Amino acid sequence: MALKGCLTVASDKSITHRAIIFSSLAKGTTNIYHPLLGADCLSTLAIFENFGIHSQIKDDCLTITSPGLDAFEVQSSILDAKNSGTTARLLMGVFSYLNEPVTLIGDESLSKRPMGRVMTPLTQMGARIELQDGATLPAQISPSQLSGIDYELPVASAQVKSAMMLAGMLAKGRTTIYEPVPTRDHTEKMFEDFSIQYQKVNRVITIEGPQLPQTPKEVFVPGDISSAAFFIVAALIVPGSHVTIKNVGVNETRSGIIDVIRSMGGKITLLNERYFGGEPVADLDVAYTKDLVATTVEGEMIPRLIDEIPILALLATRASGTTIIKDAEELKVKETNRIDVTVEQLKAIGADIQATEDGMMITGHPEGVFYEANVSSHKDHRIAMMLCVASLLLEKPLLIEDIESMDVSYPDFLKHLQALLEN
């Protein structure tokens, strides 16, 4: 069954997290238009509600009224980031600023993910953070005064960069952050929106602290290209499909998937390119492409599409030749080990795919058939949605275990998919 018609995808998860964080830290009222109200962003919101901010959701607008960071009062000392790595990592330095000790916890998946990458530089800034076995949540965070440092990020991670930017904003003195490879720059854009002074020259960010954000009153959240990716790939691989996805964020640091699809010969066109809030957006016109070709994805491209790799792997199963994905070892520390889980699940339905040390190799069979198997998202939202798209290539229904994990980033995913299939 082909996908047809027009769709507005879920709003951007990374930008919504940051909009909630900055609106909560800034004294006054901020309206966040088109927020993503998925489980991860609601975890961020609940943490700030526990500090005394008020929120109201009406007509696709989240209004946050905050007494400002200096007036926060900690109601419960247990802060639960649930499944959200962005919540836990971005906020660790901010929690050091509170005047009471807190304990940061997460769900089973988050409790296995590395937190030392944030704890180490924050400790150098003067934070007092104790992790379980020095590496994972729970984190015991005691009040402390942060001071600026020079720090070279050891991994290409927007979460670590953003954690350091937020800590640098609150710290005394100058914080300098060196980024090895460019990563998503939504925190930089939020700094501008919330009047935080900073400098970014090539890959070096400098902040003089302490500074507190000032509300711009309004923030606009575009569609999430990481969510759009599932419909883009579905349209490219299901014969007869043609969809338009409206108002999708196409920030250069996030839009690697578009470049890779073009290099594979996929029919994708950006229409109506414009700015929405501070972010570039476009409407994406995507059509079924019969003669997709394999490609290699590596190096600086990886952070530009890190969350799209599971769905890109599915796309590669329909492209003639062998697609190689390398330099992507960061996938091993996402909500699941996304190298292993992507490979296992796609292999189970008949894909020609192998895991490698730092990525995967996929040999495409454009006319190949997938078959029924027991598959599972392993409670990873992006694997759940990838498997739903894969199911469109099967003749019989595919039973996907733990499909509800998609609520983390896209609660309406199935409804939106159904609507395009019915057109």
Site string for ligand S3P, 263-302 (x = CB under 6 A): ----------------------------------------
Q: Does 44 bind ligand S3P (CB under 6 A)?
A: no
Residue closer to ligand S3P (CB basis): 350 or 359: 359
Using CA atoms, how far apart are residues 334 and 355, in angstroms rounded to an integer?
16
Residue among 50 and 86 whose Cβ is closer to ligand S3P: 86
Rounded to whole angstroms, how far apart are CA atoms 60 and 33? 6
- Least distance (Å) from ligand S3P to the CB of residue 275? 20
Would you call 377 helix, strand, or coil by DSSP? coil
**Which stretch, 76-84, 152-160, 263-271, 319-327, contacts ligand S3P (CB under 6 A)?**
152-160
Q: Which of residues 4-23 bind ligand S3P (CB under 6 A)?
A: 14, 17
Instruction: Measure the CA–CA gap between 242 and 330, rounded to whole angstroms.
Output: 33
Query: Binding-site residue total for ligand S3P (CB under 6 A)?
Result: 11
Quote the CA–CA distance of 411 and 418 in Å, as a whole number.
13
CB 23 within 8 A of CB 7: no
Annotated active-site residue 307? The verdict is yes
β-sheet bridge partners, residue 30: 64
Q: For residue 308, what are the CA distances in angstroms to 209, 334, 381, 407?
A: 35, 12, 12, 17
Is-cis flag, bond preceding 121, omega within 30? no
Least distance in angstroms from the C-beta of 338 to ligand S3P: 10
The two counts, helices (H) then strands (E), for the chain are 13, 22
Q: Which of 185, 224, 307, 407 is catalytic?
A: 307
Task: Indicate which single residue of 298, 330, 352, 412 sits in contact with ligand S3P (rule: CB under 6 A).
Answer: 330
Cα dihedral 349→337→363→324 (10° resolution): 170
Residue 43 interacting with ligand S3P (CB under 6 A): no
Give the pairing of strands 28-33 and 61-66. Answer: antiparallel
Least distance (Å) from ligand S3P to the CB of residue 289? 27
Cβ proximity to ligand S3P, 17 vs 378, nearer residue: 17
CB of 14 to ligand S3P, least distance (A): 3
Q: In this chain, which of 184, 254, 318, 379 binds ligand S3P, going by CB under 6 A?
A: 184
The beta strands (E) that lie in 202-287 are given as: 204-209, 218-220, 242-249, 267-276, 279-287
Near ligand S3P by CB under 6 A, which window of 154-162, 255-263, 354-362, 387-395?
154-162
Rounded distance, CA 320 to CA 290, Å? 10
Residue 422 near residue 401, CB atoms below 8 Å: no
3-state secondary structure of 178: strand
Q: How far is CA 309 from CA 160, 297, 343, in A?
A: 20, 10, 11
Shortest distance (Å) from residue 332 CB to ligand S3P: 11
Give the residue among 266, 241, 285 at the shortest CA–CA distance from 2. Answer: 241
* Choice from 162, 175, 323, 377 touching ligand S3P (CB under 6 A): 162
Q: Which is nearer to ligand S3P, 17 or 379 (CB)?
A: 17
Give the per-residue contact string, 223-262, with ligand S3P (x = CB under 6 A; - = no). ----------------------------------------
Q: Does 317 bind ligand S3P (CB under 6 A)?
A: no
Q: Considering the rule CB under 6 A, would residue 83 count as an interface residue with ligand S3P?
A: no
Binding region for ligand S3P (CB under 6 A): 14, 17, 86, 157-159, 162, 184, 306-307, 330
Question: Could you list the active site residues?
Answer: 307
